[in-house]
Amino acid sequence: MNGFLLCAALLVLGMAVGSQAISCSNPESLKGNWVIGVDGKECVALVKEKCSGMRQYSTHSWRRGKHVRSNCGSIPRWTAIATFLDGTKYRGHAAIFESCAPDGIWVYDQWNTAKVDRRKIRYGNSKPNYNGDNFYVIEL
């Protein structure tokens, strides 16, 4: 019986830990620079290198968490976020969340032709990767 209770407690703890937002270091000092990692200068390199425990996970391990726009007030500043255009698996763009605005979300991001910067990703953008409506908290 004690073994069963221990297993049940560990399962519940694992579910709680796995569903928490992934915190990132403050990216403000990185503006104008590249963050280069195993993924080169891509957007995921910034997230993997600057967010807690992300480096060892491939994007195939990322899962869709809370919808950013719908939960803006409860998502901590400097949280790892991404688009999950295929449903629950990552596809698209990754960034570090800063805050919400009435017309979009403020993030720090980079991509292979743009160095780290603070950008507003507007809601309703016709490009799915850069539409603030399509961002979710990354979970592992």
pLDDT, tens digit, for every residue of 95-107? 999 999 999 999 9
What is the pTM for the complete model shown? 0.86
CB within 8 Å of 45: residues ≥ 6 apart: 35, 36, 37, 38, 39, 110
Closest CA to 25 of 58, 5, 59, 55: 55
Q: Is the CB of residue 51 less than 8 Å from the CB of residue 94?
A: no
CA 82-111-17 angle, 5° bins: 30
| Model pLDDT, residue 81 | 99
CA distance 54 to 19: 14
User: Residues with catalytic annotation?
Assistant: 43, 93
Q: Is 98 helix (H, G, I), strand (E, B) or coil?
A: strand
Domain boundaries, the chain: 22-139
Summarize pLDDT for 64-88 with one digit per residue, the tens: 999 999 999 999 999 999 999 988 8
Summarize pLDDT for 46-68 with one digit per residue, the tens: 999 999 999 999 999 999 999 99
